[in-house]
Amino acid sequence: MNRNIFRLLLLVPVSCLILSALEVFGNHENWPIEALTYDEWFINQPLADTAYILNRIGIAALLLMLISTIGLLLFWSPSRYIYVLSIFVALLAESPIFGNMDLPILIGKYQPILESVTGIASGMIIALLFTNPIKGYFIKENKDT
C-alpha cells in the first residue's frame, strides 16, 4: 500500500464523522411530532455530573483525533500513538462502565451505517499503522549512517 492510498483511507472516518454530525444536527422536519417533541426535551436537559465530565472527555478525544489525523496525513511518527489514544479515550467516554447511561436519543437512518464504517476504517488504520509497509513511512531514517 502506498502513501496516497493510505491517505485516502484516513479520509474515510473523517468524512463519515462529518456526515454523521450533519445528520445529527440537521433538519428533522419529516420526523413524527412525538419524536420532535422528545428531541427538543432531550436537548434542553442539563447534563449530570458524570455525563458532563464524559462529554468533555469525548470532546478532548475528538480534538486528539483531529490532531492525530493531520499528523498521520503528514506521516508524523507520534501521531500513530495519539490516534490510538484518541480512539481509546473516545471509547471510554461512551462506555457504560463509567455510568454513561444517557437517556435514549433519536438518530437518523444513516447514522448507524456511518458509525459502523467509521469503526471498521479506524480499526483498519490502527492495524496498518503498526505493520509494514505503512509503519516504515513513520520511521525516520538515520541519514548519518
CB 82, CB 125: distance < 8 Å: no
**Model pLDDT, residue 140:** 67
Alpha helices in the chain (DSSP H): 3-25, 33-43, 49-73, 78-94, 111-129, 134-138
Mean pLDDT calculated for residue range 39-57:
76
More confident residue, 144 or 38: 38
Residue 58: the pLDDT is: 78
Prediction pTM value: 0.78
Q: What is the pLDDT of residues 62-76, one digit of tens each?
A: 888 889 999 999 999
Specify the pLDDT at position 142. 42
